[in-house]
Structure 1
Amino acid sequence: MFLGRIRRTPSGPVELVARHPDGGLISLAGLGGDDPVALIASLGLDRLAEHAAGRRPELAEDEVLFEPPVATCTKICCLALNYAAHAEESGMEVPPEPVLFFKPPSALTGHNRPVIAPARTRHLEHEVELAVVIGKATRDLPAERWREAVAGYTVINDMTARDLQLANIARNVPWDQSKGFDTFAPVGPYLATSDEVSDPQALELTLEVDGEVRQRANTKQMVFDIPRLIADLSDGMTLMPGDLIATGTIAGIAPLKDGETMRATVTGVGTLVNTVKFRSA
């Protein structure tokens, strides 16, 4: 299933929906709550599918406002340099161990929402990534049991104020702020449940800017695969339901201009669209 969180109007309540196979959205409001991860845990995928089966779409995608497809998120765990080609274009070596940084939940925004760069930056770059959605509290999970932690997958665009990041790297100080501004973690449109993705290490990733392909690669090229990442991150740190693991971007990062529109796609998971706005423009 492809589960989303939407509003019918800007001030309306958040509703849970499922994407119909033929297009359009089926309301799941009658199930109670707008948290897809919690509903997967409490009802199971079979009951969710039964509820949606045979129902016709009530809403069109272009008639609603998308929220991030997770209702609660305590942290966004982001992996740096997890593709060799991206490490090379960044002038860095492939790390011997996973390199972790965090984005705050306040950075989250939804599909078709603007990414707003603060006035302090004039150099914003895109980074398409596959995101793993954690389904239950997870700590010290062995790599071979990684699927126990996963509720599903979504698309994330790891927005970066590159000028601020490089300045902080040169000063040898943390650069998390350059990644953590409001709207710098667009995600969605949907949570693709785990049964929709048979092999998350065989997915095509692309990012287009106003129709021009900037990034293209496959998740099979990850340096550290998803089982290793979940085992590493949960070693001594609890991953909570709704937390996101952004598994790293691919080569092709490049500057963005005010008003440009990004289309970040992970095959079989979804296409996330966001337009860039610079406060300094």
Structure 2
Amino acid sequence: MRLCRFDDNRLGVVRGDVLHDVSAVLEALPAWRYPLPDHDPLIAALPDLRPRIEALADAAPALPLAGRRLLPPVASPGKIIAAPVNYRLHHDEALADQGIHHGTNILPIDKAGLFLKANSSLAGASEPVTLRFPEARNDHEIELVAVIGRRADRVSRAAALDHVAGYCIGLDMTVRGTEERSMRKSCDGYSVLGPCMVTADEIPDPSTLEMELRVNGELRQKARTADLLRDVAALIERASSFYTLMPGDLLFTGTPEGVGPVRPGDVMRAAISGIGAMEIIVC
């Protein structure tokens, strides 16, 4: 199943090039009072709501997907977690390019660990990336994103994928400089998520996917998730050893080699097999 959020916070099931509005299922979610939950309510309830979602989709008319405003498929992640230098060739290029490392120490992921991005950086596939510091180098980084589906506290690698609700395409936009990663990657709109969330049953093995990113039609990044230094399961194991993962938390798994700058007017096209593609305008 492929879920999207569109237009005015509507919920849709994507089938091919059309969608079916299933927003009525949202009425089954709890009416929260303060304090608000520490997770995304829809993702937490998805296993129970899925039969009703599928029934609503079967009954709802098909609407054209083209022209819809696509919002982030996950509305309220508690955390956005990201993996640095998780492809060997990207680690090599980061060490070799002064424009990337800026004299800072680029550690491999096993030493660097993970980092957090501000939730305010989240954006959907229909939103442009507005460069916060256009005078600086702003790079594209395509990544597979895993959406946590249920509470994960110190889970083993063997059990980790059982805690995944689905997968999305992510763009981890980055201002190059000497500041901490969590600052340079947390500008508004610098965590692009979309175009939909493909539920985990459709991607039983996330290490078999191919990804590519083009800028104005020029191929910049192309890789396979099989090349990840730490795969999705290992990242969940590592992350959950430090903090509890909750439904709706987003895990950006790292970008391959080929990162490069974008400028206002550029169009990025990010694609991952099994998920789809999205085009993002740079402003």
Q: TM over 0.5: same fold?
A: yes
> How far apart are the structure 2 equivalents of 1:83 and 1:206?
14
- Cα deviations by residue, 1:99-123 (Å, 9 ceiling, x for unpaired): 2111111000101211011146431
Letter of the 2:151 counterpart: A
* Aligned: 1:68 with 2:62: no
The residue aligned with 1:52 is 57
TM-score norm. by structure 1 comes to 0.87
Q: Which amino acid aligns with 1:76?
A: I
Partner residue of 1:107? 121
CA-CA distance at 1:98 after TM superposition = 6.0
Structure 2: gaps (5+ residues): 30-40, 96-105
Please state if 1:82 is matched with 2:96: no
Q: Could you tell me how far 1:270 is from its partner in structure 2?
A: 2.0
Q: Secondary structure of the residue that 1:232 maps to in structure 2?
A: helix
1:86-97 aligned at under 5 Å gives the runs 86-91=90-95, 92=106, 94-97=108-111
User: What is residue 147 of structure 1 aligned with on the other side?
Assistant: 161
CA distance change for structure 1 residues 226 and 274 in 2, over 3 Å: closer, same or farther?
Answer: same
Aligned 8 A contact 1:98 1:229 in 2: no
Q: Write the distance in 2 (CA, Å) between the matches of 1:265 and 1:145.
A: 28
Alignment of 1:191-270 (within 5 A): 191-270=197-276
Structure 1 residue 94 displacement after superposition: 3.5
State the partner residue of 1:26.
20
Deviations 1:11-60 (A, max 9, x none): xx311001123x2110001212596514413324x443333236441x22
Residues 216-238 of structure 1: CA distance to partner in whole angstroms, max 9, x if unpaired? 00000000111111111001411
The match for 2:5 is 5
TM-score (norm 2): 0.87
In 1, Cα distance between equivalents of 2:196 and 2:142? 15
How far apart, in 1, do the equivalents of 2:46 and 2:77 lie?
A: 16
The aligned counterpart of 2:43 is 37
1:17 aligns with 2:7: no
Measured in 2, the distance between the counterparts of 1:118 and 1:269 equals 29
1:159 to 163, 173, 186: 173
C-alpha distance in 2, partners of 1:16/1:65? 12
Question: How many positions carry a matched residue from both structures?
Answer: 261
Question: Over residues 150-199 of structure 1, what are the superposed CA-to-partner deviations in whole Å (9 max), with x where a residue is unaligned?
Answer: 0000010000011xx3x33xxxxx23211000000011010000111121
List gaps (5 residues or longer) in structure 1.
Answer: 8-12, 169-173
Q: Which of 124, 137, 143 is 2:138 aligned to?
A: 124
Shift in CA distance, 176/134, structure 1 to aligned 2, threshold 3 Å: same
Shift of the alpha carbon at 1:254? 0.8
Q: Secondary structure at the match of 1:116?
A: coil
CA deviation after TM superposition for structure 1 residue 258, in Å: 1.2
Provide the secondary structure at the position in 1 that maps to 2:241.
Answer: coil
Amino acid at match of 2:182: D
Seq. identity, % = 33
